[in-house]
Structure 1
Amino acid sequence: MPQVSEALDTTVRYTGKHTAVIVVSGDVDLHTAPLLRVEALTAMTRGARHLVLDMAEVDFVDSTGLSTLIVLLHTTQEPGGSLRVARVPERLVRMVTMTGIAELLPLHDTVADALAALGVDDDAAHDGADGAANPGGGASADRRADTSATARADLDTDVSASVSGVQD
């Protein structure tokens, strides 16, 4: 029987003008995948063309979650951006590999590796880009890059999000 998700938590950390790391915790399934999609699209509307998903704390991904990864991949590529996935637990690596998604979507051992592979010359340093929470992201001449957002979805409640950051 498929596992039913109770919650999905996401934290978005902008590491530069055009790059965001989305830390995903919980299950990515029929009920929570829309939150992940919304968080990614919100990051893109804030200027992030390149997204890195930190999946270290993901316990379960169903077909809707896998489909969401493919949709996000195409969505980031349309404006010339990219999607990378980092710190994927071994059980999920097997699933992504068996379904063929690994051929489309680059997987990386660390968030720092994923950011380095992007080859993006953002104004932000990649300090603390190992996947650990780093409030405010890296140092940047563009203070909007020092923004983070956190969202949580529960089955019994509506999706809620909070955004905090330093504005010009």
Structure 2
Amino acid sequence: MIEQVTSLDADGGTTTVSLRGEIDVLTVEQVRVALSEAVAGRPQQIVVDMADVAFIDSTGLGALISGFQRARDQAIAFQLARPTSNVRQILVLSGLMEVVQVTP
């Protein structure tokens, strides 16, 4: 099961969505909701912290792409932060790293 924390930083410019566990067909709706709430807050930047994500499937990738597109449409910077090596490999294979900023 995935746990999420969505927090707006003290500067008011960055919303961080922290994801933990596995992002798959059973948990993807929680990710979609968290990203929608982050975009609705209209920050300058959304950072999706993936340091504690063990696995992501195609539905999870779809949720990240959808969140990225909604943020881009609102002129909100969007980045994925600290993906594990397993998740990073999936991001590379999917081509997502070519369109979304990923920080180590």
TM-score, length of structure 1 as denominator length: 0.58
Rounded Cα–Cα distance in structure 2 between residues aligned with 1:82 and 1:66: 18
Residues in 2 aligned to 1:97 and 1:90: alpha-carbon distance in whole angstroms: 10
SS at match of 1:31: coil
Q: Which residue number in structure 1 is paired with residue 14 of structure 2?
A: 19
Report the Cα offset of residue 45 of structure 1: 2.1
Query: Within 5 A, what are the aligned runs for 1:22-41?
Result: 22-41=17-36
Unaligned runs of 5+ in 2: none
Cα contact 2:39–2:70 (8 A) shared by 1: no
CA displacement at 1:26 relative to structure 2: 0.8
Alpha-carbon offset, residue 20 of structure 1 = 0.4
Higher helix share: 2
Letter of the 1:40 counterpart = L
Percentage identity across paired residues of the two chains: 23
Change (3 A) 1:35 1:49: farther
Aligned length, in residue pairs: 103
Report the secondary structure of 2:46's partner residue.
Answer: strand
Of residues 21, 43, 48 in structure 2, which corresponds to 1:53? Answer: 48
Residue aligned with 1:42, SS: helix
Contact 2:49-2:82 within 8 A present in 1 as well: yes
Deviation at 1:85, TM superposition (A): 0.5
Q: Write out per-residue CA displacement over residues 65-91 of structure 1, whole angstroms, 9 at most, x where no aligned residue.
A: 011111111010001112100110011
In structure 2, what is the Cα distance between the partners aligned to 1:95 and 1:46?
Answer: 29
Distance between the aligned counterparts of 2:38 and 2:102, measured in 1?
Answer: 20
In structure 2, distance between residues paired with 1:44 and 1:68 = 13
How large is the Cα RMSD of the aligned pairs?
A: 1.2
Residue 107 of structure 1 aligns to a residue in which SS?
Answer: strand
| 1:12 alignment partner AA | T
TM-score normalised per structure 2: 0.91
